[in-house]
Structure 1
Amino acid sequence: MRAIYLLILLLAFCVLNEPLAAAVKPGIDVLISTSALSNLKGKKIGLVTNHTAVSRNMEHTFDLLRSREKLVGYKLTALFAPEHGLFGSQHASEDVKSFVSKYGIPVHSLHGKTRRPTDDMLKGIDLIIYDIQDIGSRSYTYTTTLYYVMEEAAKRGIGVMVLDRPNPIGGKIVDGPMLDQNLRSMVGYINVPYCHGMTAGELALFFNKEYAIGCSLQVIPMEGWKRSMTFDETGLQWIPTSPQIPEATTPFFYPMTGILGELSVVNIGVGYTLPFKVVGAPWIDGKKFAKQLNDNHFAGIYFEPFCYKPFFGKFAGQDCQGVMIVIKDKKRVKPVSVQFLLIGTLKALYPDQFKEALSQSKQRRQMFDKVSGSRAIFEMMETKPFIIWPLISFQEKERLAFLEKRKNYLLAEYRD
């Protein structure tokens, strides 16, 4: 009996000491519950959004704004859809089609032949509201869409309001190369590290001033979010931001293998059930690969030998060996540094396959440079025999300078 009593006490202690998820309110919740909503009165509004724009109670931003039109006295006149479409079902690089919604509101594509809103799309609009969940990596195109929208809005004197959302990997991880100005594209438009540690609202503030866009910009901050929080600490429900970002942890793995994926030397789980979380090929010895990686003792990370067979994509239908990436401490891991560890280890263990991947077509090389942000990275992989630490330390001074600069744009509401 005494043993059972002690067990109950122990279980109660564990439950009471289990960290609770915070009650974070996204920008849309703050907007509709404060006086900020009255600022929309008399305006014709365009909404840049997709399926990820939901409130804490899982109500869509479009529905919340539409239901308050008559009460406040504004009108939603257009929707704008980014990559993957309004409903998030289209795969990477697929053109998004424009259409008219069942409410008679036009939905304009910003990821097809047109990637910037045009005069016709913006005709009669007084304010553009942006509400999309991002993943915290520079090469993800949603924030590029935001910047294109800000540039076009500024040219026409249209205001922009950003309803802020969490950076799912937190606001303290800053890692990876900067962006070469000559490589600006849809997969990288601003000169920030690959993992920048900022929210969409903070990036908008950064972009507006540092690039002298000068649009009339308002950011509606979240309530309850702090920079140290990862998404699973927010109490919010994760909605896959695109077909290959299915879970709240996937944004950690995307910057660990996404650049590597552009080399097309290995499968990175795209085409399997663990996108960006595994690295494998038919010619890899999984145990040997895992040991070599783990012997480096990178903080917060572990590599488990893993066997799998991709359904589609690189090595589809072939038995692959490699590793599954296991995050042991989200607060300590450096995602892009992990990626450079993977790249350097692959080159050391499998030089022939790696060299073959480097002799890829010009088009693939161009995309690799755009995604990584620098031509120097590919050149280092070609010329240096040992590349892990040169890649990790690449542009360290520039990152430190960025950390100082970004202090001007970090929202005070998010301080720990």
Structure 2
Amino acid sequence: MAFFSGYKSTVFIWFLILSTCGSPQKTEKANGAIAEVKEKSEILKAIEIGANQTEKYLPMLKGKSVGMVANQTSVIFKGNQYTHLVDSLITLDIEVKKVFTPEHGFRGQADAGEKVKDGTDVKTGLPLISLHGENRKPSAEHLKGLDVVLFDIQDVGVRFYTYIATLQLVMEACAENNIPVLVLDRPNPNAHYIDGPTMEAENTGFLGMTEIPLVYGMTIGEYAKMINEEGMLTDGLKANLIIIPLQNWTHITPYHLPIRPSPNLPNDQAINLYPSLGLFEGTNANAGRGTEFQFQRYGASFLDSTQYSFSYTPKPNFGSKNPKEKGELCYGKDLSKISKMNEVTLQWIIDAYKNSTDKSKFFITNGFTRHAGTKKLQQQIELGLTEQEIKNSWQTDLEKFKKIRKKYLLYN
């Protein structure tokens, strides 16, 4: 297909050249068309992730004791195949000493929020140090003997998705122990917009460590650069940060994730809807966990059945051993076929709250505040404000953040 596309472009260019011979005006027009075809060809080049650019970072790792922050998404792509980065580095005689694992573990199979234990990787024999169990931040003892820590995890660009919190804590630990951090950048599939309530200082925690919007429109490399330079690490620390940037990618370039970034984000639709449906995590309603359509539907047994034509029953499955509303017939909406979202929408959570038969049991207040980043959102929904009225209240903070964000963008 790629050859055929290139063949068509070549034929088109030669047709323009031959049809405009002898006319300066037409030749100029043809040259413009050729330039446009070349420009489109550049845009359509394959995205090159940081991990694939081995020539840029292998020299930094040779002869060094390396710690890695990695999971199932930490791979090098070779056409339609891929090799795990840990396996690749070991094959290339890089001295990988240990792997630090985020939420969901090294192989990405643990439930959301489930504690992950330290252990040993069966395939490589490497020690696995959990950063989602007793420790969220590597200790000085964990980092002892390491010359560099390499971070390579696929993010989805949503504040309460915990991989950026792990990144921040790793950077802090490495700054405290004078160890460089090497980030291999990957595309953010939700980088095409900035939206949602901004985290308030008093609500910061593992679901949002910095005062950023729910959707912040940055790759993990750009985010690392921002928190490092803006003094967002504890005590204003600065890590010795090195980023291997993407090639042939912009913030509006569509990107398909070939590997689930976590058990309950199975496809592009779920990842796109996650910023909006993820807010249901702070309620007693179900957002598709316990089905094969995680974050592509919502419902609850306590929603008014007369208002919905769609229903489903959550059951334990991969990545969700005990889903909310387990075994209960849930009434709600199927969103698996809706068009791609370019904003955070509150229409579904407002709809679910309005149609709750017992509004007192809808919100899990502490959980909802930690996900939203503010107490105001629950209050606004309970008061009956419209989606637009609520979104208008976000704008001042969003504009303030956009000015900060702009300083650290690595891509258009």
TM bracket (short chain): 0.7 to 0.9
Are residues 1:385 and 2:346 paired? no
Are residues 1:308 and 2:308 paired? no
Are residues 1:322 and 2:332 paired? yes
Q: Hey, what does 1:9 align to over in structure 2?
A: none
Whether contact under 8 Å (1:125, 1:158) holds in the other structure is yes
Q: Hey, what does 2:351 align to over in structure 1?
A: 345
Are residues 1:164 and 2:185 paired? yes
User: Which AA in structure 2 matches 1:230?
Assistant: P
What runs of 5+ residues in structure 2 fail to find an aligned partner? 1-7, 13-40, 317-322
Matches within 5 A, 1:139-178: 139-169=160-190, 171-178=191-198
Task: Report how many residues are paired.
Answer: 361
Whether contact under 8 Å (2:281, 2:367) holds in the other structure is no
User: Which AA in structure 2 matches 1:183?
Assistant: N
Q: TM-score, normalised by structure 2?
A: 0.81
What is the alpha-carbon distance in structure 2 between the residues aligned to residue 276 and residue 260 of structure 1? 9
Larger Rg over CA atoms: 2
1:104 CA drift (Å): 3.8
1:354 to 318, 336, 359: 359
Matches within 5 A, 1:174-213: 174-210=194-230, 211=232, 212-213=236-237
What is the alpha-carbon distance in structure 1 between the residues aligned to residue 221 and residue 199 of structure 2? 20
What runs of 5+ residues in structure 1 fail to find an aligned partner? 1-11, 290-304, 359-363
Matches within 5 A, 1:17-416: 22-30=45-53, 32=54, 34-57=55-78, 58-69=82-93, 74-102=94-122, 103-169=124-190, 171-210=191-230, 211=232, 212-232=236-256, 238-264=258-284, 266-282=285-301, 284=303, 288=307, 305-312=309-316, 313-326=323-336, 328-330=338-340, 333-334=342-343, 336=344, 338=345, 340-350=346-356, 352-358=357-363, 364-382=364-382, 384-411=383-410, 414-415=411-412
Percentage of matched positions with identical amino acids:
31
What is the alpha-carbon distance in structure 2 between the residues aligned to residue 214 and residue 404 of structure 1? 21
What is the SS of the residue equivalent to 2:335?
strand
What is the SS of the residue equivalent to 1:371?
helix
What is the alpha-carbon distance in structure 2 between the residues aligned to residue 279 and residue 367 of structure 1? 17
Q: TM-score, normalised by structure 1?
A: 0.81
Change in CA separation of 1:306 and 1:116 when aligned onto 2, cut-off 3 Å: same
What is the alpha-carbon distance in structure 2 between the residues aligned to residue 286 and residue 410 of structure 1? 47
Note the alpha carbon deviations across 1:86-107, whole angstroms, 9 max, x for none: 0001101111111233444221
Q: Hey, what does 1:3 align to over in structure 2?
A: none
What is the alpha-carbon distance in structure 1 between the residues aligned to residue 225 and residue 197 of structure 2? 21
Change in CA separation of 1:78 and 1:283 when aligned onto 2, cut-off 3 Å: closer
Whether contact under 8 Å (1:207, 1:213) holds in the other structure is no
